[in-house]
Structure 1
Amino acid sequence: MNTIKNQLKEHNARKFNNIYFDFSTNEIFKKHLFGKYEKKRFSEITGFHLDQQGKTKEKHHRVTRAIVGTALLGNVGGVAGALTGGKKYDIVTKLDVIINFKDGSSWIEKFIQSDTKTSSFIYKGEAGICDGLMGTLKEIDRKGLTNKNS
């Protein structure tokens, strides 16, 4: 276990959460619970894709704003409050990268698993790591090191 960790460090492996890419040996590693590593060769990769799900949410303050507007300014205040009360924003409910291998197995690297605003610091950080992982997989594929077209 320590030898894999040392190898990854010595070879300046690219790390994205629990996935490591060692371009010196053309190997990909996944670190599991308790520090156990699973190893595959780049040539065993048959596909990969991004699984992102989301929706638009709306805060429902229209009624409250309409009541307060009516109390303060009459009917005109009520209409103004109702018109300015709703606010829509985008959320991501799931953000994963799935890597498929020749033996039929898949690795799923999970980044977001609950409602997260796309404007949030958490989303931006996780999306950046996810983009790096997808970019590295595309680079490996471009170099012809995967088994994607087989």
Structure 2
Amino acid sequence: MTKSIALLLAVVAAGAASPALAQMQFEPGEMLARADADGDGRITRAENRAAREQTFARIDRNGDGMITSQDLPGRRSGERLQKLIASLDADGDGRASRKEFVEGRTVAFDRADANHDGAVDRDELASFREAAAQLRSR
């Protein structure tokens, strides 16, 4: 698998060390599944974006509109959080803004949307979850 999926899985591991992330069950396949706001079995880009907005609000614990290491102080996940921030930080300021997080790369969604139709259906989600589980087991 790619480094992008590996980074997402690193964030999953960070969830185990952080109450804020653990509360979200920060697993890419689960996050996608929860993004299906209308319950029709298809996750659209709009639903994914709305879910990213909600996730940002949960991670940004101090409410300053930025994700920084201060949002998860004193946690073992610091290095992983810094990698996540760096992957999202389009302007290079060392922080991930709401815009960078919400409108940034949608690695999990793009990987799961195997037929590139702009939506992730049940079969695509199942395949994505299986691939992510195999990567985690390595």
Same fold (TM over 0.5): no
**Which protein has the bigger helix share?**
2
Q: Higher relative CO (CA 8 A, sep ≥ 6), structure 1 or 2?
A: 2
* Superposition TM-score, scaled by structure 2 size: 0.28
